[in-house]
Structure 1
Amino acid sequence: MEKTTTEKNIKPRKPKNIFVEGAISPTFIADSIAKHSTQHAIGGHSIFLGQVRNDVINGQEVVAIEYTTYTEMALDKMHVIREAIFAKYPLTCLHVYHSLGKVKSGEICLFVFTSAKHRKEAIDACEELVERIKAELPVWGKEVFASEEFVWKINSPNQDL
């Protein structure tokens, strides 16, 4: 079966490494946003920043979360999610960065950034992307207490990062 003109012009994207060791710095986030100012076809951006909370579990305050993953499996899954979002929404670009290792309470552990010609597409894509990352990406976190004891974090569909 012959490909359509649109299919012929689309280059398949390669899986991108989304993982950052430790917290995602405010400077990194600001630089990422600033790089898009030269793209004049963009009319809207949507950004989600996931921050480590200092929850109290059984009387102990969470001081950090230590994230781990099987990198190759996670990157393959992220590529599938990324391609599905690009197929569904008319985005100009989409960026995801997720921390690995220890991230202290108050620090950023997830940065999702979508851009499109119109704000609604950017916002809707960002929201769906965050929900899919939370539900499907094989990344696990240990909630670490001041005592250095820990419990494995369990995400539920309506729970924030």
Structure 2
Amino acid sequence: MMSDKKIKNIFVNGAISPSFISESIAKHSSKTEIGGHSIFLGQVRKDEIDGKSVSAIEYTAFEDLALEKMHEIRENIFEKYPLSCMHIYQSLGRVSAGEICLFVFTSSAHRKPAINACEEVVERLKAELPIWGKELFEDGSHQWKENK
């Protein structure tokens, strides 16, 4: 059964900045029941494909569907693990090679639930959410990215 919790928006425009990530961590210092955090940061790679270098990825999504699905995953993870909190941020739009495009942050009284929940959220998000990346090459060409 779905709870009446509000569906959270996970999408941010462009890259996720290091200052945003550090502020998110700092905000948890008052939550003294937390003993462990697990953080996953997805970064755009400068892959070389057929002799061409990726300069950026442009992310698009079926936003409403993705947010509904993420809400289901979030509810499921909270039922499965004793988490204090969970934060998920996914870039939309252009993110250059070397920049952060995904930030998943889970917290718990003990490290194991935070680590396991973080890993499961990342895997499910990649497998189940309608989010696509178009690889933009330095020569101006592009192709749709395979989700791995």
TM-score tier after normalising by the smaller chain length: over 0.9
SS of 1:140's partner is strand
CA distance in 1, matches of 2:133, 2:37: 28
1:71-93 per-position Cα deviation (integer Å, ceiling 9, x unaligned): 11110011011111011000000
Which consecutive residues of structure 2, in runs of 5 or more, have no partner in the other structure?
Answer: none
Deviations 1:16-65 (A, max 9, x none): 00000000000000000000000010000000000000000110000000
Residue 21 (structure 1) aligns with:
13
Secondary structure class of the residue paired with 2:42: strand
TM-score normalized by the length of structure 1: 0.89
Percent sequence identity over aligned pairs:
66
User: For structure 1, which runs of at least 5 residues remain unmatched after alignment?
Assistant: 1-10, 157-161
Under a length normalisation based on structure 2, what TM-score does the superposition of the two structures give? 0.97
Q: Pairwise CA RMSD of aligned residues? A: 0.8
Q: Which runs of 4+ in 1 moved over 2 A?
A: none
Larger Rg: 1
TM superposition shift of 1:135: 0.5
Count of equivalent residues: 146
**Residues 1:91 and 1:12: Cα distance change in structure 2 (over 3 Å):** farther
